[in-house]
Amino acid sequence: MKNKFRGLGASRVNGRVYSFVADKNNPADTFIVQSSSDGRVFVPHSSQARISSVNLPIDTLETCSHFHVSSHDDYYYLTYQASKASQKSLLLAQSTDLINWEKMTVVSEEKTNAKVIPEYTFKDHLMMYAGGKTISLLASDNLMHWYEEAPDVIGSAKEGKEYIIADIKILDEGIFLIYYEALHVGAESAQAYKLKAALFQRDNPRKVLWKSKRNLHKVHDDGEKLLHPFAMVTLDDAFVAYWQSADDTLQLFYHQFKGSRLDIAHKAKEKKWKKEELPQLERSDANPIMAPKKEHVWESKAAFNPAAIFVNGVFHILYRAIGDGDVSVLGYAQSEDGINITKRLDHPAYVPREIFEGALKPQNKVDHKNWSPFMSGGGAWGGCEDPRLNRMGDRIYLTYVAYNGWQPPRLAMSWITITDFLAHNWNWSKPVLISPPGVVSKSGSMLPEKIDNHYVFFHRVFPDIHIDFIDDLDRFDGKSFFLKCKESIKVREDQWDAGKFSMGAPPMKTKDGWLVIYSAVSGRQEWKGSDLRYKIGAMLLDLKDPTKVIYRSNDAVLVPETHYENEGAKPGIIYPCGAAIKENTLFVYYGGADEFTCVATADLPTFLEKLKVTGKIESE
Phi, psi of 547 (to 5 degrees): -85, -10
Choose the CATH number for 5-268 among 3.90.550.10, 2.115.10.20, 3.40.50.300, 2.40.110.10.
2.115.10.20
The residue among 306, 303, 324, 327 whose CA lies nearest residue 315 is 306
Contact status, residue 382 vs residue 369, Cβ threshold 8 Å: no
Least confident of 105-109, 249-253, 354-358: 249-253
Residues 81-111: pLDDT tens digits? Answer: 998 877 889 999 999 999 999 999 999 999 9
The per-residue pLDDT for range 580-618, each reduced to its tens digit, is: 999 999 999 999 999 999 999 999 999 999 999 999 875
Most confident of 270-279, 387-396, 399-408: 387-396
Beta strand pairing status for 100-108 and 50-52? parallel
Q: Domain segments of the chain: what residues? A: 5-268, 276-614
Phi, psi of 606 (to 5 degrees): -65, -45
- Cα 197 from Cα 174, distance rounded (Å): 12
The rounded percent of the chain whose pLDDT value lies above 90 is 65
Amino acid at 128: M
**What's the full length of the chain, in residues?**
620
276-614: same fold as 5-268?
yes
Sorted by sequence, the CB contacts under 8 Å of residue 286 that are 6+ apart come out as 339, 340, 599
Q: Which helix (H) or strand (E) holds 580?
A: strand 574-582
For 140-186, how does the pLDDT look when each residue is reduced to its tens digit (9 = 90+)? 999 999 999 999 999 888 888 899 999 999 988 899 999 998 875 55
- CATH fold of 276-614, please? Tachylectin-2; Chain A (2.115.10)
- Name the amino acid, one letter, at 571: P
Who wins on pLDDT, 73 or 427?
A: 427
pLDDT tens digits along 276-334: 899 999 999 999 999 999 999 999 999 999 999 999 999 999 999 999 888 999 999 99
